[in-house]
Structure 1
């Protein structure tokens, strides 16, 4: 610890461009890093924060396919798009073959890049595995069956399904630019023996709507889902992901899953770092029906249910499933702040991955540009 302080200085303790994991560092300080810090640290989150390893297996082949050339409606080139939006990597897999692979910001095939909220979709997929294994009994179970510490507060009548769809009705502020928001402060507070700090924070939140009535995006609730999976299965999220998907499906590299350095709780809502190719393999795993190592990993009907629209988000043609953003054309996506994307299009057998370091966590302009990129890929996919 002293060596880390000498290396980066007190003011840069959390923001070192590569060195050692820092005990008690606030994981949400990533929201306020500057551009050079983002571009350096997003590829090395495990050196800043405690993490668990997700062990890989024998790599699932991703052979080269016919090159794909995105066709932007306004004539933008892929190179211009990547430069303008600080893109570290793009991969497009169609029919199981890599049709496009590009890197920026000094990244390459071996670079592990943080996924931010794409991790939510990983966590939800583990719910599907836990249902298949019988570790979670049903989505209409009360959350307190697995997290009894929440019984005295606003979560006492909330179901697992309502956590997955973010319709708990519990009050929450997800403003990434506000240091006083819930998403910025959810790992703060007084630690209670045997209780994850995140659970203590969530237990104190008040109710705003009746359960199931209103969709409100809440990263903290996906962290609760992750803790629920860990409690139900007796495995860390990293170990369970390795057992169910990463090893048997054949991811090419180990991944990292961030955790609290004191209580060991993994961040189900924003904690996975993996290579571009392995994010694409995860999308292909879903296109393959959730089978890995010749076995069905997810509960019967899970994929169709998880990627269907369960909540209205107020955007035409879109909705929210079980930690997936859904589209009326049958596609679905894991989307993370600062430009991360895992888009799956079953009708076209298409997986689109983008890793980036946007200058802001989120903005309408950046989101529109990313959506235009997806449309450009789809336009080029038929060539």
Structure 2
């Protein structure tokens, strides 16, 4: 790789994408670039926000491969027979796993930030989310839920597998890929949560007081960890000769099933889909796993949180792919 080109790329990062903590580029399964910024190293672990959702998608696929979950068309309430549905609340009874995976389930709240405060104060985030599910909204209409919503899928994994999400993920995804996520992280105060979001060294996955891991945020990873996840998906769920998750699940989960019409964005099973070219896991602050299936490129970017960052997809398309797409 021409060092002058790399130097110019890193100047661009430091100038316009200055919250990037680390980046890895794979081409044809080989590491073509790996570097760290903002005093981060390969040992740093950063909260990757909504990238967590795509990990939940993979875990649901593994649970289906193993027979713990029969179908994504199963009703969500089938997994929670003890949940008491409120009178006149009929919509919730028809919500399926697929509705949750494709962000097409309705919710009762209008202003999410208000519910977030109560969410963090709750001891049981799965039940809290259940209580907001349904209402007068229409099943099948896209509604992105950045925080409240995917926790129900975490709850389903616990019910279906008989394991914590953390243990199931460690055994079936993280350990086979050489990814270390050290422990659950449970907040006892808002101060601890703020420290977690800013930390460069906490390895873990946030869980509520009941021990159920978050479904939509809360996982810390490194750029190498995320690149491995991207390569796993690019290789049809195969890693070092072992089928970690079925190719069928990867194929199905990374094609369009719903669409956010407002922004003309396609969505799969907790993956953002770039029809014809690839897909991405995207997290707040500029965290991303990007997979280009045609060019056989994986880009992982871990970022320290700042609001309103520049578009990482534009960055990859304009500055990363032109440099690395012809590497041999």
| Cα distance, 1:118–1:99 mapped onto 2, change above 3 Å | same
In structure 2, the residue corresponding to 1:220 is in which secondary structure? coil
What is the match of residue 204 of structure 2?
256
Work out the CA distance in 2 between the residues paired with 1:351 and 1:150. 44
Asked whether 1:221 is paired with 2:149, we answer: yes
Change (3 A) 1:359 1:274: closer
Deviations 1:21-77 (A, max 9, x none): xxxxxxxxxxxxxxxxxxxxxxxxxxxxxxxxxxxxxxxxxxxxx569879xxxx74
| Contact 1:186 1:202 (C-alpha < 8 Å) held by counterparts | no
State TM-score, norm by structure 2.
0.82
| Corresponding residue number in structure 1 for 2:212 | 265
CA shift in 2, pair 1:143/1:120, >3 Å:
same
Name the stretch that deviates more: 217-226 or 202-211. 202-211
Are the equivalent residues in 1 in contact too, given 2:27–2:325 (CA < 8 A)? no
Secondary structure of 2:93 counterpart: coil
Cα pair 2:26 2:298 within 8 Å, conserved: yes
Correspondence for 1:379:
322
Matches for 1:92-111 after TM superposition, within 5 Å = 92-111=25-44
TM-score by length of 1: 0.71
| Conserved? CA contact 2:258–2:266, under 8 Å | yes
- C-alpha contact 1:324 1:334 (8 A) present in aligned 2: yes
Match of 2:103 in 1: 166
What is the alpha-carbon distance in structure 1 between the residues aligned to residue 53 and residue 132 of structure 2? 22
Single out whichever of 117-126 and 84-93 deviates more from structure 2: 84-93
Q: Within 5 A, what are the aligned runs for 1:205-354?
A: 205=133, 207-251=135-179, 254=182, 255-260=203-208, 262-292=209-239, 294-299=241-246, 301-314=248-261, 318-354=265-301
Cα distance per residue 1:301-321 (max 9 Å; x no partner):
111110001111126763011
Q: Distance in 2 between matches of 1:69 and 1:242?
A: 40
Query: C-alpha deviations, 1:209-233, integer Å up to 9, x for none?
Result: 2211333334322111111111111
For the residue of structure 2 that corresponds to 1:216, the secondary structure is coil
Structure 2 unaligned residues grouped into runs of 5+? 183-202
Query: Residue 119 of structure 2 corresponds to which residue in structure 1?
Result: 186
In structure 1, runs of 5+ residues without a counterpart are 1-65
SS at match of 2:205: strand
> Distance in 2 between the 1:355 and 1:274 partners?
8
Aligned length: 300
Shift of 1:151: 3.8
Do the aligned partners of residues 355 and 347 (structure 1) sit closer, same or farther apart at CA in structure 2, a change above 3 Å counting?
same
Give secondary structure in 2 for the equivalent of 1:221: coil
